[in-house]
Amino acid sequence: MMLQRQSLRAAGTEVLLRPVAVFMPVIALMMSHVASADEAPVERQAVIVVVGAEGTAEYGQQFQLWADRWEDAVRKGAADFRRIGSPSPSAVTPDSDLTQLTNAVQELGNRQTAEPLWIVLIGHGTFDSRTATFNLNGPDIDAQAMVQLCSNCQRPLAIINCSSCSAPFLNALSGDNRVVVTATKDGNQIQYSRFGDAMSQAIGDAAADIDRDGQTSLLEAWLYASRRTAEFYSEEGRLATEHALLDDNGDALGTRAELFEGYRPKAGIKEPGRIDGSQASRWHLIRSPEEQLLTTAEREQRDDLERKLEALRSRRADFSEEAYLNELEPLAVALAEIYRAVEQRDASATP
């Protein structure tokens, strides 16, 4: 049975950064029989939260609170977790925080899976006009050392540096299958950063779910945190001393939240294809019940189809209506087949 053209037009229109539920009506138009996917081994996301040197007890309390929020979100998301930078002197290990971070990245990063590894840096940073550094308890880590540490990762990687002077980490770590977030737009934003506070709230808060699909993506959390941080300075009548960036297209430039309206890039932007956010929109630490029904392989296939649909949508003006629909149809059908298989598997598992 062929998909109706009207449904295809709707699918093509809404594909860019849209909720998963948009394509559910397409499933109903599919053939009645689609084979269920084989069960795949359970794979998990992993999160490493690093709390750096506190500087003062007041900062230390704030940093630990932010880390606590991340830990709570990780538990809700059923991900593997490592926390480095103990709040209790009695819990300090013989290894330096740098050694613990190195070991954690090697252990979790070397697992071959499509599930992301998230590395969250909470604390202070410095920049000497050449090198950006994140301040750890004990030996610090700079951007180039972080590049070396992550060079052998076998899985997608999100690096979220919530410290001052953090932008050079984005320039250095940008790459394929990576999302890099920094609290500042350059290394010269040296003042204490509040972005980490808002980001730690956003990652597990339904209020940050801008598209209302039942889950907060990394893109949405970054947008929410960026806007909350900007509001703080505005309400205090102060000049903003930090402007967060996100990079997920590998160009090492990053994008600011001001280029978005809601969760989509603003209309009229020059070279909209260079705006970051597409990959980050698909990464969710706490997944909705519907998203959890997908296996890792199905999610990877779904994301690949969505990228192709986005690329097709961006070139819609190059096609006639008929040619556009001919290109759209096989992608929409393949996407619907994934959801149909999930639906059948879920139905068979329900008592």
Instruction: Read off the pLDDT of residues 260-319 as tens digits, 9 standing for 90 and up.
Output: 999 999 988 887 778 999 999 999 999 999 999 999 999 999 999 998 998 898 889 899
Judge whether residue 220 has pLDDT over 60. yes
The domain boundary residue, chosen from 282, 317, 332 = 282
Strand pairing class (125-127; 132-134): antiparallel
The residue among 134, 205, 139 whose CA lies nearest residue 163 is: 134
Q: Are residues 155 and 232 in the same domain?
A: yes
Has residue 123 been placed in a domain? yes
- The per-residue pLDDT for 15 is 41
Over residues 160-178, the mean pLDDT reads 99
Q: How many domains does the chain have?
A: 2
Has residue 147 been placed in a domain? yes
Side-by-side strand order, sheet with 157-161 = 80-84, 46-51, 117-122, 157-161, 178-182, 245-247
Judge whether residue 85 has pLDDT over 80. yes
The domain boundary residue, chosen from 230, 258, 282 = 282
In Å, how far are 205, 214, 216, 238 from 210, measured between CA atoms? 11, 9, 8, 27
Task: Supply the CATH number for residue 255's domain.
Answer: 3.40.50.1460
Over residues 40-57, the mean pLDDT reads 90
Specify which residues 127 forms β-bridges with.
132
Has residue 40 been placed in a domain? no
Q: Are residues 92 and 234 in the same domain?
A: yes
Has residue 16 been placed in a domain? yes
Q: Are residues 192 and 312 in the same domain?
A: no
CA torsion, ordered 313, 284, 203, 248, to nearest 10 deg: -50
- The per-residue pLDDT for 18 is 40
Judge whether residue 31 has pLDDT over 80. no
The count of residues in the chain is 351
- The per-residue pLDDT for 348 is 82
Q: Tell me how far apart the alpha carbons of residues 234 and 226 are, in angstroms, rounded to a whole number.
A: 12
Judge whether residue 216 has pLDDT over 90. yes
Over residues 254-261, the mean pLDDT reads 97
Q: Are residues 95 and 241 in the same domain?
A: yes
Mean pLDDT for the chain?
A: 88
Over residues 177-186, the mean pLDDT reads 98
> What is the percent of the chain where pLDDT is above 70?
86
Residue 183 in contact with residue 163, Cβ under 8 Å? yes
Has residue 39 been placed in a domain? no
Structural domain boundaries enclosing 308 = 5-34+295-349
The domain boundary residue, chosen from 282, 312, 334 = 282
Q: Tell me how far apart the alpha carbons of residues 218 and 147 are, in angstroms, rounded to a whole number.
A: 21
Has residue 67 been placed in a domain? yes
Joined tokens for residue 177? 């299958």
Amino acid at 58: E
Q: Are residues 273 and 323 in the same domain?
A: no
Over residues 69-90, the mean pLDDT reads 89
Question: By mean pLDDT, which of 131-135, 151-155, 347-351 is the weakest?
Answer: 347-351
Has residue 290 been placed in a domain? no
Q: Are residues 25 and 169 in the same domain?
A: no
State the maximum Cα–Cα separation within the chain, in Å, rounded to a whole number: 69
Helix or strand run (H / E) with residue 64: helix 57-76
Residue 275 in contact with residue 265, Cβ under 8 Å? yes
Helix or strand run (H / E) with residue 182: strand 178-182
Judge whether residue 226 has pLDDT over 80. yes
Judge whether residue 62 has pLDDT over 80. yes
Phi-psi region of 29 (alpha: psi -120 to 50; beta: other; left: phi over 0): alpha
Judge whether residue 92 has pLDDT over 60. no
- 348 or 318, greater pLDDT: 318
Over residues 5-13, the mean pLDDT reads 43
Q: Tell me how far apart the alpha carbons of residues 171 and 176 are, in angstroms, rounded to a whole number.
A: 13
Angle at 117 between CA 342 and CA 223, to 5 degrees: 85
Q: Are residues 336 and 194 in the same domain?
A: no
Q: Are residues 223 and 187 in the same domain?
A: yes
Q: Are residues 21 and 127 in the same domain?
A: no
At 104, is the secondary structure helix, strand, or coil?
Answer: helix
- 5 or 184, greater pLDDT: 184
In Å, how far are 52, 84, 132, 133 from 145, measured between CA atoms? 16, 17, 10, 9
Q: Are residues 22 and 54 in the same domain?
A: no
Q: Are residues 84 and 111 in the same domain?
A: yes
Q: Tell me how far apart the alpha carbons of residues 81 and 75 are, in angstroms, rounded to a whole number.
A: 8
Over residues 91-95, the mean pLDDT reads 66
Q: Are residues 164 and 273 in the same domain?
A: yes
Backbone angles phi, psi at 110, to 5 degrees: -85, 0
Judge whether residue 28 has pLDDT over 50. no
Judge whether residue 25 has pLDDT over 70. no
Has residue 288 been placed in a domain? no
